[in-house]
Every structure is written in C-alpha cells, then in structure tokens.
Amino acid sequence: MAGDAKKLQPIIIKRVKKGGHAAHGGAWKIAYADFVTAMMAFFLLMWLLGSTTEGDKKGISDYFQSPLKVALQGGAGAGASNSIITGGGNDLTQQAGQSRRGDGEEKTAKKMSGDQAKVERAKKDAKDLATLAAKIAGAISNNPRMAEFSSQIKLEITPDGLQIQIVDDQRRPMFDSGSASVKPYMRDILTEIGRALLDVDNKISLDGHTDSQAYGNAARGYSNWELSADRANASRRELIAAGMPEVKLARVVGMASSLPLEPGNPLAPSNRRISILVMTKDAEERLLGSKTVALDAGEESTGNPAAPEAKSSP
C-alpha cells in the first residue's frame, strides 16, 4: 500500500517568468567611437613613423623646434609641409642641417679665434711682465743707494699681473708715523719704479695698506682707511713726478688693514706697505669691463669695495 501511495504523488513543475531587458542609453556608442578613432590615429601615426626616413624625421623635428628659423631659410609654408609628408622633406632636412653646420662651424671658428687671441695675449703679458720685473730688479740692484733697500721691495708674478710691494721696516719706515709724508729713500724707490713703467702699456692698480693698530686720531674721524688712501695717493704723485703717464692708473685704493701681508701678526711692520699691480689684459677687463676705459688725466678711484670708501688727498 505504501508503494502505491508513492506512485500516486503528483509532480509539481515550477516555471519562472523572466522580465525583459531594461533599456540602455547610447553613451557606450560614443565611448566606443572615441576608442576606435584613437586607435586609428595611433596606427596611422605608427605607419607614418615607419614609412618616414630619418632625415625627414629630423627635418620635422627641426621645424617644430624653430619654425621661424626654418621659414626664413625657405623651408616653411604649405609646400614645404606637403613635401615632408610625401618624402620631399630631404630638402628641408639638408637646409636645416647645412644651417646648423654653418652656425656651428662659425661659432667654433669664433671661439677658437677668441681662445687663440687670449692665449697669445696671455703669452705676451707673461713675457712683458717678466721683462719688467727683471728691469726693476736690475735698476734697484745697480743703484748703490737703493741696493740696501732691496729687502723691502718684493716682486711677484701673480695671475693678475706683476705685483710690486714696497714694505715698511722697523728701522726704515716709508712714511712718517701717522703721516702720508714720503721718506726720501721711498721717493727714490718710487722714482725708479715710475721710470720703469714709462714704456708699459698695461694699466696700474695702486693700493695703500696699514697695520691693524688703530690710528691715534681716530676719534676725530680720521682712521687707517683715510691714512692708507692718503699714502697711496702720495705714492701716485711720486710715480707721476717720475714721468709715468697718469692715464695708466686704473685705480688708487686705500685698504687699511683689511689685507695684511702677515695675517698671523697684524701689527708687523711689513703689513704697512704700498702695493703696485701692473695688471694683465684679462685683469684689466675684469676691473674695467670688456672695454678698457682710459682714465683722463687727474682721475683716480679711491676706496675699498668691501669696506667704507676711503678719502683721498688731492
């Protein structure tokens, strides 16, 4: 009986009804069209790059980097643009390449010419300054009166020119204490140097230096700055009196104790000195600019760029 009941049990079939698809907008079509357009442009660009010679690529690059320059050379305009695409860009490339080579060769030639001129000028300066140093040393050693002061005269060839330093000595000071009055033997030394500089074309820089001891009358406004400038000016007058043209002077400067010869001993007598620099042409350009300016007679420059301006005596 149980088996019969099982056989008679009804079979139930469930059917699920599916709804229709929701309506879609058309935005995907626009995105797809943009994608296809971008891919077409990409493959077109790849095809153009693959079919263009290296010369044409260089010509195109040069045009977009400096279109005005290429246009002035006759490579711009619609015709030139079309010739690049069709393979006629070789003309543009050749023109641009020739222009670059011409400009580069011209610049290289100018640079080599300028460098060569500087080398030749430096050689001439070195030769002339060495001759001048020997001339001054010989003039001093051959003068019995001045030979005893040779230890106070220091000659040195520096990158800026020939530096002639006349240093003070405890027993033989160049000036009276606290004064710009030149001692007689100092006048003789400056006279010999002035005569040696008669035939020199180079400009002269004249610096006065003191030791670090404060000037005794500093309370009244007169300090080592004014004293060093006055001593430099006094030395200038002696050089001019010896016959050196004043137009040779590029500057007259009072340095006080800012540049001691013996930094470890700021009170050393050798720090009190007159420094005469016969400048190289390069040093002249650095000081006076690219064009050397000749100072008129009577002109002078006094002061220290790194310190308060020093006063000079007339």
Give yes or no for residue 235 having a pLDDT over 80.
Answer: yes
Of the listed ranges 108-112, 169-173, 303-307, the least confidently predicted one is 303-307
The total domain count for the chain is 2
222-234 pLDDT, tens per residue?
Answer: 888 999 999 999 9
Domain-located, residue 193: yes
Domain-located, residue 293: no
Residue 195, domain extent: 143-288
Domain-located, residue 16: no
Of the listed ranges 13-27, 29-43, 207-221, the least confidently predicted one is 13-27
Q: Do 221 and 276 sit in the same domain of this protein?
A: yes
Q: Do 113 and 238 sit in the same domain of this protein?
A: no
Rounded Cα gap, residues 162 and 15, in angstroms: 115
The whole-number pLDDT of residue 17 equals 65
81-137 pLDDT, tens per residue?
Answer: 444 334 444 554 555 556 566 666 666 666 666 678 778 878 888 888 888 888 888
